[in-house]
Chain A
Amino acid sequence: MATALSTLSLYFQYPFVRYAFIVGILIALCSSLLGVTLVLKRFSFIGDGLSHVAFGALAVATVVNVQNNTLVVLPVTVTSAILLLRAGQNAKVKGDAAIAMVSVASLALGYLLLHLFSASSNLSGDVCSTLFGSTAILTLSAADVWLCFTMSLIVILLFICFYHKIFTVTFDETFAQATGINAGGYNVLIATVIAIVIVLAMNLVGSLLISALIIFPALSAMRLYKSFRSVIIFSACFSVCTAAIGLVIAILAGTPVGATIVTVDVLAFALCFALGSLLPAFHRG
């Protein structure tokens, strides 16, 4: 225990580790806030699809040697998010099938491009860290940290400002539209923010594990609470705690950051699930 604490304090002496820690938690917070809307709108699969699109975009950016990858990945992912959300609403196009198609296509194309054109000597290492996240928190670059920090703050602010509107558009879009709320506009806003969160989260947990950050907090909260506000608050707390625990374990045990956080998420979800079944009385506002 004492050695664990001293290892931690050693790590936290570096301001850089502290920032990375904060950023990790902010990203987890952002994903959990939007996760509730995504799960309730039955859009959880969009998160998964988008993360693969982001992987494809990242591969292209690497191959054409762009300085800052995010500048390519972000616009591509935002555009795909808006298009996929549209497709999901159109009953004639099979939304989920379209998303599955786009998602595997980007994954395959991305890997192929990297394989053919990448100059990197450690291709499988690069691919692995894009898919499953950085192996250690220290591999995040300073530019990444600051970008994540700003974007997370923007996402949180947007969420707070549009909280009630997001509620009404999630709960009953038809009513919102019928009474003069620009539901389409808010859907585009939600899609954009989701895309931003996914691009950010890719740095933390990698593109294959992002869905976990989005889904587990929301499902755990919905298991225990029954008002929208408590669900949002609980899932935010859930996400922040599991991310913090996961990061600490990852530092101490030297395990991959993304996989560790997601494992903690799974365990915490199991706990909430059990609590929800054992204590029906716990169900409250």
Chain B
Amino acid sequence: MALLVCKDVILAYEGHTVVENLNFCVNSGDYLCIVGENGSGKSTLIKTLLNLRKPFAGEIRYGDGLQHNDIGYLPQQSLVQRDFPATVEEIVRSACLNRSGWRPFYTQEEKKQAQNNMLKTGVLHLAKRCYRELSGGQQQRVLLARALGAATRLLLLDEPAAGLDPQAGEEMYTLIKDLNQRDGMTVIMVTHDVSAAIQYASHVLHVSHKPLFFGTAAGYQQSDIGKIYMCRAKGDE
């Protein structure tokens, strides 16, 4: 049984269809990249997979005993207010609340785990700093550390490298790849960067009103649509 199955899904806002005919599945250990143009519905798809919104039609099923609190999420834009007083540590620690039940405090183990996740994403030295005073790239890493804290099996990342300079973006992708390969975390990642998708992912889903491609990363590289997008991406650079 797959971890996540998407069957005949249609995504729409107020009756206005964004994507239709979505059919794909994600198995444990997969690294799926979702690519497509701006406004093609990638973020909407992620939110639907998280059950933050309902699909207009079709069905999304969790399998393999996947629960909501096994999932970590890195939103594309967090609607965090500019004047919110919160330290990096407070934010990263809050991730484990999805498994803490009624317990009103953090255990030593949870604090340790938050520490580890900050170390992994390279923000440990910022632990006591105020979140809103960090640079965009640093904030992104903090949110990734938080996503890691919430995730035990599945990570959903919406443009994790957006707003990072190329080198920081590269580091971010390497980090995610490590999480996938070393820690066995299943990853679903939205990205603009088609070449990164091919380099790191095991599977690619290309959406644009209709899904244009779903299959392995190698297969995407061979496909017509993949070739077109790769060329276009090269042309942009």
Binding site for B on A (CB under 8 A): 40, 42, 160-165, 167-168, 171-172, 174-181, 221-222, 225-231, 285
Contact = CB atoms under 8 A, between A and B. Distances in A.
Contacts of B130: 226-227, 285
B133 to A, nearest CB: 8
B50 interface: yes
Interface in B83-99: 83-87, 90-91, 93-95, 97-98
Contact of A227 (B52, B83, B86): B86
Contacts of A180: 67-71, 98
B85 A178 contact: no
Determine which residue in A167, A171, A221 has the highest number of CB atoms from chain B within 10 A of its CB, and name it: A171
A242 to B, nearest CB: 20
Interface stretch (B17-25, B74-82, B190-198): B74-82
B31 interface: no
Given A167-B94, A180-B68, A175 B85 contact: no
Contacts of A229: 90
B86 A175 contact: no
A164 B102 CA distance: 11
Given A178-B73, A180-B98, A228-B85, A160 B104 contact: yes
B72 interface: yes
Given A161-B104, A163-B104, A225-B85, A179 B90 contact: no
Given A167-B94, A181-B97, A172 B67 contact: no
B75 to A, nearest CB: 6
Given A222-B85, A231-B85, A181 B91 contact: no
Contacts of A171: 80, 84, 86, 91, 94
B104 A175 contact: no
Given A160-B104, A225-B85, A227-B86, A174 B75 contact: yes
Nearest to B49: A178
Contact of A164 (B67, B70, B104, B128): B104
B52 A181 contact: no
Which of B85, B86, B98 has the most chain A CB within a 10 Å cutoff?
A: B85
Contacts of B85: 221-222, 225-228, 230-231
Nearest to B93: A164
A279 to B, nearest CB: 16
Contacts of A225: 85
A175 B73 contact: yes
With a 10 A CB-CB cut-off, give which of A180, A222, A231 has the most chain B CB atoms: A180
B144 interface: no
B94 A227 contact: no
Contacts of B67: 180
A191 to B, nearest CB: 19
A181 B78 CA distance: 17
A181 B94 CA distance: 11
B95 A179 contact: yes
Closest 10 CB pairs of A and B: A180-B68, A180-B69, A226-B130, A179-B150, A168-B94, A178-B50, A178-B73, A227-B87, A179-B98, A180-B98
Contacts of B73: 175, 178-179
- Give the residue among A181, A221, A230 with the most B Cβ atoms within 10 A: A181
A168 B92 CA distance: 10
Contacts of B106: 164
B87 A177 contact: no
Contacts of A161: 102, 104
B146 interface: yes
Interface in B154-208: 156
A161 B128 CA distance: 24
8 contacts: A160-B104, A164-B100, A172-B79, A178-B73, A179-B72, A179-B98, A226-B132, A227-B87
A171 B72 CA distance: 16
A59 B98 CA distance: 43
Interface string B127-159: 010101100000000000010001000001000
A162 B104 contact: yes
A165 B105 CA distance: 10
Nearest to B100: A164
Contacts of A179: 68-69, 71-73, 95, 98, 150
Contacts of A40: 81, 84
A225 B86 CA distance: 9
B98 A164 contact: no
A181 B72 CA distance: 12
